[in-house]
């Protein structure tokens, strides 16, 4: 797997949150006027200054359904934090490829659907294709070690647009194991 097998498609990644019946994003009250806002809302789009802001964006996306509460940044074995990546909405899967060493890795439990997955390479609305990635997990309230839903957030390093690019249901996979596979 990896780049050669991905399909190219423009703007397929970002989803409109309205599709999921969630409320529009509002800045949290703790962001007073005297503080620099990390997330900026322009129209329906969110922009963020740093990878550390991706969890807020994933929470905004997920809070109307199964809120993401555990997060892990994607970091390559070589230490690099920027990736090309591709998603499969249908089967629920994502794969990233390091921009430095080109090693590829399936995100979270994507390997479970490796046989049938059809990955489409993600591209930002600015046509940038290099992203910082953060995995977000929703857990079962009565079983915080079990994963209920998986979210993959991305921030375009070119224009700072941030959002959830793919999410899928999970039947209780171990939270720590998935976080180790961001």
For 29, the token pair is 């009250």
11 binds Zn ion (CB under 5 A): no
CB of 68 to Zn ion, least distance (A): 22
Stretch that binds Zn ion, among 44-52, 115-123, 155-163, 166-174 (CB under 5 A): 155-163
Q: Which is nearer to Zn ion, 76 or 106 (CB)?
A: 76
CA triple 146-147-149, angle to 5 deg:
160
Q: Which are the contacts of 33, defined by CB distance < 8 A and separation ≥ 6? A: none
Q: Which is nearer to Zn ion, 47 or 61 (CB)?
A: 47
Backbone angles phi, psi at 33, to 5 degrees: -65, -25
CB of 17 to Zn ion, least distance (A): 18
For 87, the token pair is 């998603």
CA 15 to chain centre: 11
Q: Which is nearer to Zn ion, 28 or 100 (CB)?
A: 100
Instruction: Please provide the DSSP assignment of 49-118 as one string.
Output: SSGGGHHHHHHHHHTTSS---EEEE---TTS---EEEEEETTTTEEEEEETTT--EEE-TTGGGGTTT--
Mask: binding to Zn ion, 89-128, rule CB under 5 A, as x and -?
A: ---------x-xx----------------------x-x-x
Among 90, 114, 116, 158, binds Zn ion (CB under 5 A): 158
CA distance 55 to 82: 17
Among 1, 3, 52, 80, binds Zn ion (CB under 5 A): 80
Q: Which is nearer to Zn ion, 91 or 99 (CB)?
A: 99
CB of 14 to Zn ion, least distance (A): 10
For 77, the token pair is 């074995």
76 binds Zn ion (CB under 5 A): yes
Among 9, 28, 78, 177, binds Zn ion (CB under 5 A): 78
CB of 158 to Zn ion, least distance (A): 4
Helix (H) or strand (E) holding 179: helix 175-179
CB of 2 to Zn ion, least distance (A): 12
């Amino acid at each position: 797997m990896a780049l050669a097998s991905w399909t190219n498609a423009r703007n397929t990644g970002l989803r409109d949150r309205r599709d999921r019946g969630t409320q529009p994003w509002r800045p949290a009250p703790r962001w007073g006027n005297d503080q620099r806002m990390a997330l900026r809302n322009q129209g329906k789009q969110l922009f963020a200054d740093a990878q550390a802001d991706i969890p807020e964006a994933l929470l905004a996306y997920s809070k109307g359904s199964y809120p993401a509460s555990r997060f892990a940044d994607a970091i390559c074995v070589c230490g690099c934090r920027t990736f090309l990546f591709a998603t499969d909405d249908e089967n629920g899967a994502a794969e990233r490829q390091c921009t430095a060493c080109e090693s590829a890795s399936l995100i979270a439990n994507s390997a479970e659907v490796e046989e049938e997955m059809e990955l489409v390479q993600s591209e930002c609305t600015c046509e940038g294709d290099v992203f910082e990635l953060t995995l977000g997990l929703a857990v079962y309230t009565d079983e915080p070690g079990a994963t209920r839903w998986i979210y993959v957030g991305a921030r375009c390093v070119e224009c700072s647009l941030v959002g959830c690019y793919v999410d899928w249901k999970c039947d209780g996979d171990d939270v720590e194991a998935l976080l180790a596979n961001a």
